[in-house]
């Protein structure tokens, strides 16, 4: 397109006409709205001013040739036709109007608003400038090519990269990146793309740059790119700086289930962990948690601080030394022994200092504490041993010491409610049958009896048979736990929780006059209820075709499972009330009875 077509006028030597056309066009293409159009109109205006001095000779020759070409056919036609007839003078020939005159006549008929641009102060000042003049340079934000900076793009990019390499700290690199963000040449789309690619590769290949990585990700949206390595560095930087809201937001596009679970409130997460999840199929948030850990463990390793682990080991060593001293200096060494065992079961003693999985978990747990509960939800070997040791330690403190009996009773009540919650969790999850073999159930009965027998020997002073009975109980219990299918994690945890309460139940009678026969009866009932519940839960499915008889039989079967619990707990509560009259223990047993009744009611309403 020529300069005259851009200005919308015919070739002319009139400078005023060129300026008028330029003023009309420049209103439509202002620099702040249409920089491309502004540059095109400006270039056309300057070119028209340069070409106007060459227009007249060329234009006159062109008009002469056009008139000669128009006159030649008329002369030839006059020679070949009859003499001309008389025609009215007015219609003999239409007067010829030059194009310039017609164009200016058309301009004169346009609305006055178009010509008002000539009177605007900024346009008047610009049009009154002397000609020829230097080409006006547009603001830096309208540069369309890196040549405007008078620097080779490759050289410019190399200079910017050299500044990154020279930075010796995260703060220095952050200051350099913030200064480079104001570079005018980076407004060009091609150079900007090369710059961002180089910056992303630089940050993805360096360690200990959390602030620079986060700033670049937010400034240039680099964390939305397809570069997986940079995304890992970006997430690791958020973890290192403990920016939990930004971390959860960044997880949403790639780990949606995990991000949605983390956005829940604390109680919503707690309830969802036990009520909404299924035992046979792992929750999607837990699967994505393991995928996230596997992805970030190498990126988080540079942020691991060795002094934190050394501090933990120092504290545990001091506690272990205190426990050993307590064993040899106190009259009752049993609490110190259990304290020592509990400290030795801490994983920090046995994990290497540079284990990426262990260190990555600790960093993620500090940055986002809910991930700790998510990680422990499906552990195949939970902290049941520590609970068991805690139970034994608390109970042993109350032996032959009436002053600590209320504390022990309170501890037992808390542990009992914890057991009932575990039991409710198994029911709410609607776990399918575990298909525990009958011989395993018999072993579980023997285990419970042996455990209760072992700890009932302590009040009678018969401690010679205690180690054998205790070791046999633990061995049988672990064998029974191993017989439960691995897929049923909740079943295993429930078995362990039941066993953890067996010993405190036996200790409830060490200071009382009630015989130890009742715990030997109630503990197997509590333990076997869960096993039979798993086996009988498929009964409604098998009898589904026998409606309504099948549903009725299924309800009676589930009622029969929980009936021994209700009878045994009720009889035990009456016996305690008659013998000792301790209202606290009676209230505790009545709560267990109410829970059993609630379980029966639940199964009557939801048989399948």
DSSP string of 202-263? HHHT-SS-HHHHHHHHHHH-GGGSS-HHHHHHHHHHHHHTT-HHHHHHHHTTT-HHHHHHHT
Question: CA-CA distance, 182 to 2, in Å (whole number)?
Answer: 36
Cα 144 from chain centre: 39
C-beta separation of 334 from 390 below 8 A: no
Sign of CA dihedral 70, 75, 77, 78: positive
My answer on whether 535 and 578 are in the same domain is yes
- What is the average pLDDT across 346-375? 76
My answer on whether 466 and 523 are in the same domain is yes
Cβ-based burial of 488 (10 A; exposed 0-12, middle 13-18, buried ≥19): buried
Beta strands, E only, 505-608: none
My answer on whether 249 and 290 are in the same domain is yes
Structural domain tally of the chain?
3
My answer on whether 433 and 495 are in the same domain is yes
C-beta separation of 239 from 300 below 8 A: yes
Question: CA-CA distance, 501 to 520, in Å (whole number)?
Answer: 13
For 551-560, write each residue's pLDDT tens digit.
555 555 555 5
Report if residue 580 sits inside a domain: yes
The length of the chain is 608
Banded model confidence at residue 434, pLDDT cuts 50, 70, 90: very low
C-beta separation of 431 from 534 below 8 A: yes
My answer on whether 474 and 368 are in the same domain is no
My answer on whether 391 and 516 are in the same domain is yes
My answer on whether 129 and 225 are in the same domain is no
For 565-574, write each residue's pLDDT tens digit.
445 445 544 5
The proportion of the chain whose per-residue pLDDT surpasses 90, expressed as a percent, equals 0
- Three-state secondary structure call for residue 136: coil
Report if residue 116 sits inside a domain: yes
- What is the average pLDDT across 540-557? 51
Report if residue 347 sits inside a domain: no
- What is the average pLDDT across 11-24? 82
Report if residue 439 sits inside a domain: yes
Report if residue 471 sits inside a domain: yes
For 19-60, write each residue's pLDDT tens digit.
888 888 877 877 767 777 888 888 888 888 877 766 655 555
Determine the pLDDT at residue 302.
Answer: 78
Residue 148: half-sphere exposure toward Cβ, Cα within 13 Å: 19
C-beta separation of 25 from 7 below 8 A: yes
Q: How far apart are the first and last CA of the chain?
A: 81
Q: Which helix (H) or strand (E) element contains residue 28?
A: helix 15-28
Q: Which helix (H) or strand (E) element contains residue 280?
A: none
Q: Whose CA is closest to 296, among 255, 260, 246?
A: 255
My answer on whether 115 and 202 are in the same domain is no
Determine the pLDDT at residue 36.
Answer: 79
Least confident of 85-89, 126-130, 584-588: 85-89
Least confident of 354-358, 470-474, 546-550: 546-550
Report if residue 103 sits inside a domain: yes
Report if residue 349 sits inside a domain: no
Query: What's 431's DSSP letter?
Result: P
Helices assigned H by DSSP within 398-516: 405-428, 438-456, 466-483, 489-507
Determine the pLDDT at residue 64.
Answer: 57
Report if residue 125 sits inside a domain: yes
My answer on whether 115 and 222 are in the same domain is no
My answer on whether 447 and 593 are in the same domain is yes
Query: What's 587's DSSP letter?
Result: H
C-beta separation of 562 from 603 below 8 A: yes
The tokens describing 409, both together, are: 């009773």
Q: Whose CA is closest to 391, among 463, 426, 341, 322?
A: 341
Question: CA-CA distance, 492 to 486, in Å (whole number)?
Answer: 8
C-beta separation of 523 from 447 below 8 A: no
Query: What's 180's DSSP letter?
Result: H
Work out the mean pLDDT of the chain and round it to a whole number: 65
Least confident of 67-71, 109-113, 232-236, 578-582: 578-582
Query: What's 139's DSSP letter?
Result: P
Determine the pLDDT at residue 174.
Answer: 86
Question: CA-CA distance, 224 to 220, in Å (whole number)?
Answer: 9
My answer on whether 367 and 384 are in the same domain is no
Query: Is the pLDDT assigned to residue 145 strictly greater than 70?
Result: no
Q: What is the DSSP string of 351-413?
A: S-TT-HHHHHHHHHHHH-THHHHHHHTT-SS-THHHHHHHHHHHHHHTTT-GGGHHHHHHHHH
Q: What are the residues whose beta carbons fall under 8 Å from the beta carbon of 156, sequence distance 6 or more?
A: 146, 149, 185, 191
Range of the domain at 283: 170-176+188-304+354-372
Work out the number of other CB atoms within 10 angstroms of the CB of residue 169: 12
The structure tokens 């035992």 sit at 279
Query: What's 142's DSSP letter?
Result: G
For 450-485, write each residue's pLDDT tens digit.
555 555 555 555 555 555 655 665 665 566 666 666
Question: CA-CA distance, 270 to 51, in Å (whole number)?
Answer: 81
Q: Which of 79-83, 222-226, 530-534 shows the highest mean pLDDT?
A: 222-226
My answer on whether 366 and 479 are in the same domain is no
Q: Which helix (H) or strand (E) element contains residue 64?
A: helix 55-80
Q: Which CA distances in Å does 24 have to 4, 19, 28, 67, 112?
A: 13, 9, 7, 33, 11
Determine the pLDDT at residue 316.
Answer: 82
Buried b (16+ CB within 10 A) or exposed e, 410-435: ebbeebbeebbebbbbbbebebbbbe
Query: Is the pLDDT assigned to residue 227 strictly greater than 70?
Result: yes
Query: What's 31's DSSP letter?
Result: T
Question: CA-CA distance, 592 to 598, in Å (whole number)?
Answer: 10
């Amino acid at each position: 397109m020529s300069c005259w077509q851009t200005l919308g006028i015919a070739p002319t030597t009139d400078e005023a006409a060129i300026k008028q056309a330029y003023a009309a066009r420049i209103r439509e293409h202002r620099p702040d709205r249409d920089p491309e159009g502004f540059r095109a109109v400006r270039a056309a205006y300057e070119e028209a001013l340069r070409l106007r001095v060459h227009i007249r000779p060329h234009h006159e020759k062109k008009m002469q040739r056009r008139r000669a070409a128009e006159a030649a056919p008329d002369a030839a036609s006059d020679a070949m036709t009859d003499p001309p007839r008389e025609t009215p003078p007015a219609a003999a020939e239409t007067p010829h109007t030059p194009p310039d005159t017609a164009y200016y006549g058309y301009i004169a008929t346009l609305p006055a608003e178009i010509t008002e641009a000539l009177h605007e102060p900024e346009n008047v000042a610009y049009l009154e400038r002397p000609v020829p003049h230097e080409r006006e340079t547009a603001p830096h934000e309208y540069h369309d090519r890196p040549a405007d900076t008078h620097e080779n793009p490759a050289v410019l990019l190399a200079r910017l990269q050299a500044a990154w390499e020279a930075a010796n700290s995260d703060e220095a690199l952050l200051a350099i990146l913030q200064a480079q963000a104001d570079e005018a040449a980076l407004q060009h789309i091609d150079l900007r793309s090369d710059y961002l690619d180089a910056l992303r590769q630089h940050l993805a290949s360096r360690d200990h740059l959390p602030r620079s990585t986060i700033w670049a990700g937010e400034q240039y949206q680099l964390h939305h790119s397809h570069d997986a390595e940079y995304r890992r560095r970006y997430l690791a930087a958020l973890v290192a700086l403990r920016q939990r809201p930004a971390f959860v937001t960044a997880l949403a596009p790639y780990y949606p289930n995990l991000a949605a679970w983390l956005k829940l409130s604390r109680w919503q997460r707690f309830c969802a962990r036990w009520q909404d999840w299924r035992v046979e199929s792992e929750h999607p948030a837990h699967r994505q948690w393991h995928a996230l850990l596997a992805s970030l463990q190498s990126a988080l390793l540079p942020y691991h601080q060795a002094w934190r682990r050394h501090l933990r080991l120092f504290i545990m060593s001091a506690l272990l030394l205190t426990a050993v001293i307590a064993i040899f200096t106190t009259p009752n060494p049993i609490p110190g022994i259990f304290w020592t065992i509990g400290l030795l079961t801490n994983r920090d003693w046995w994990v290497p200092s540079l284990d990426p999985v262990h260190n990555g978990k600790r960093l993620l747990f500090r940055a986002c504490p809910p991930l700790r509960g998510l990680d422990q939800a499906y552990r195949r070997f939970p902290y049941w041993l520590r609970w068991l040791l805690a139970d034994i330690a608390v109970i042993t403190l109350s032996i032959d010491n009436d002053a600590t009996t209320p504390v022990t009773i309170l501890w037992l009540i808390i542990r009992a409610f914890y057991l009932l919650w575990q039991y409710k969790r198994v029911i709410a999850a609607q776990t399918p049958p575990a298909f525990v073999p009958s011989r395993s159930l018999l072993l579980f009965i023997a285990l419970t009896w042996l455990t209760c027998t072992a700890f009932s020997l302590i009040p009678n002073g018969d401690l010679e048979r205690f180690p054998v009975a205790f070791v046999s109980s633990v061995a049988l219990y672990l064998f029974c736990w191993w017989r439960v299918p691995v897929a049923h994690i909740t079943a295993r945890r429930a078995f362990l929780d039941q066993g953890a309460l067996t010993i405190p139940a036996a200790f409830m009678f060490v200071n009382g006059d009630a015989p130890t026969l009742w715990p030997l009866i109630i503990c197997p009932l509590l333990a076997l209820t869960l096993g039979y519940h798993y086996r009988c839960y498929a009964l409604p499915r098998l009898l589904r075709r026998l409606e309504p008889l099948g549903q009725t039989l299924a309800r009676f079967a589930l009622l029969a499972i929980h009936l021994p619990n209700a009878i045994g707990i009720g009889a035990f509560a009456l016996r305690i009330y008659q013998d000792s009259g301790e209202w606290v223990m009676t209230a505790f047993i009545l709560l267990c009875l109410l829970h059993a009744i609630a379980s029966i009611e639940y199964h009557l309403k939801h048989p399948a």
